[in-house]
Structure 1
Amino acid sequence: MLNCCFLVSNDKIITNYEEINIRDALKDEDCFLWIDIEDTDDNDVAILEKFGFHELSIEDCIFPQNLPKIEDFDTYCFITVHGIIPRASIEEDMQMFEINTFLGKNFVVTVHEHPSAAINTVREKIRQNPLTLTKGMDLLLHAILDRIVDSYFPLAEQIDDQIEQIEEAVLTDPTQKNMEQLLHLKRVILSMRKVILPQRTIISRLSRDDISFIKHKNLVYFRDIYDHLLRIGDMLDMYRELLTNTLEVYISGTSTKMNAIIKVLTIIATFMMPLTLITSYYGMNIPMPEFAAGSHGLVIVWTLMIGTTVGLFAFFKHKKWM
């Protein structure tokens, strides 16, 4: 589905795709074109083919299951990065989606399966002032990538907040839910690292003179994005270490809890053992002459049982086992 279309040529602005001749626009150096496609269908594929893109690049847009990458062709540069699908809660699994971008000398084509807040923000800015495109398509690419990368920071802050909450819970009363939360966060961080680390390589290439479609004076903007990715990567590394430490504290806490339970059960069993021995020896479950009327047998047994219990209690206290 064609999400938006902007063409600026000699101060003439066209937003209706039907009025645009793509082949003529590509030949006009004074023409600047941006087309955004969401949820690709057959009509969109036909649009991509008009640009003369390589069939493998088009295939990557139709079947978006790729890691971040950058491929340099004669007439365009193909870039794949990932955006984040907004979640109602941090408890939900994180989902990311591809944003494929074709950067040419005078055009940018973006293709993605899900709505992108980053692209929607840029689209509204261009809609308010389409002449912004005349500053260069590399700056349009920068605006899109910058907002995509900035969208990672709120998620990183959510992870930070949840780690603090889990740490407090683990230190006070560790539960099975804490373990599930820790494992969930580890999956989220792993998913983010899987796309952020390759994207650092991509932005690093864009910030050098490797790509002919990016002006030398604009490289500094891409270096700024690279710095943001470095910060995100450092934050994720720190969170991963915090999670590992918290997991160790959780295991230690649950072990301490289990040891305390076993200690109580052991003490109870230790108290019961001599009592069981005494009652078994005297056969308390059957009549015996010692316990006949007027006999002191029952008193003797109770004295032994109470004395043994008090003696064990005093012994445990002396050893500081209780």
Structure 2
Amino acid sequence: MPDYDLHHHGDREVGPGLIDLAVNVRLPRPPLWLREELASALDSLAAYPSTVDAVSAVAERHGRASSEVLVTAGAAEAFTLLASAFRPDHAVVVHPQFTEPEAALRAAGHPVSRVILSEADGFVLDPGAVPSDADLVFVGNPTNPTSVLHPASALRSLARPGRLLVVDEAFLDAVPGEVESLAAGHPGVVVLRSLTKTWGLAGLRAGYVLASADVIERLRAVQVPWSVSTLAGVATVACCRPSALEEAEKLAVAAEADREYLVSGLAASGVDVLGDPRGPFVLVRVPEGASVRARLREAGYAVRRGDTFPGLGPDHLRLAVRDRATTDAFLTALRKIL
């Protein structure tokens, strides 16, 4: 099995003076109302944190029982918890996707099989490609880095007795209407969510798990005490309010329009956009991609290399969706390089 740097992420690409198209966090800072709410909680930091209110807020937001919710220090913590709480006989990660699930499984000593989705088929999920004996399966939706949104029906078809299906929905709130989500619940399915991407909270680490009560209890048993900070709990409550959900939907609609603008500009520049992107980023293939990435960096732009994702190579680049002014300037720089 080829080696990949599974711990390489977009934040390694950014640097002083670079315009960031490498990290899939849309807002440069949390909105003012959220910053004010976080600031108002600073006086409570002397007390140990509790996630009781955050759990209740998430449960209400998704129509789940509180026993079916675990608040985590970002969605990434959940991968480590799953790898620690379960002892799969055959763990499978569907690639290309976020690499931390595989990294967490390997760090816990679990062998991992990879199912590589086909670029020629647009990275569409083929449930039949997942081995029937797989008892722990990870898949992203929409998938990072392909931005492909898999049908909920295809995901549900992967669920079966004796198998835990983990669906990483870290970017689902950036899809208008949150279509194809399994957050409402399905037997044998674990859903992971993140507050990082929409609300500009990467530095705070806030996310949660939705699953059956018995799965949540196993994850809670291996979670480090007080791993979720007071401020992360406050942010979780705030971002689950109806007003915040309404704002998130507006941000998702705007991101969709900005993505289509980027895709159109790339196509006009002769750049192949792969798959059918539905998230706030796109995957492209360009000849001599490593050189293009380096030259973009010289021109002042950071983009995400693709060759650390299993199934992709050095000609693949992931581009975060930004506002139209940033996109226009980026496309101008890209055309000079190609």
Do they fold alike, i.e. is TM over 0.5?
Answer: no
Higher normalized helix content (fraction of residues): 1
TM-score range, shorter chain: under 0.3
Query: What is the TM-score when the length of structure 1 is the normalising length?
Result: 0.25
Structure possessing the higher radius of gyration over alpha carbons? 1
Q: Bigger relative contact order, structure 1 or 2, given CA contacts below 8 A and separation 6+?
A: 2
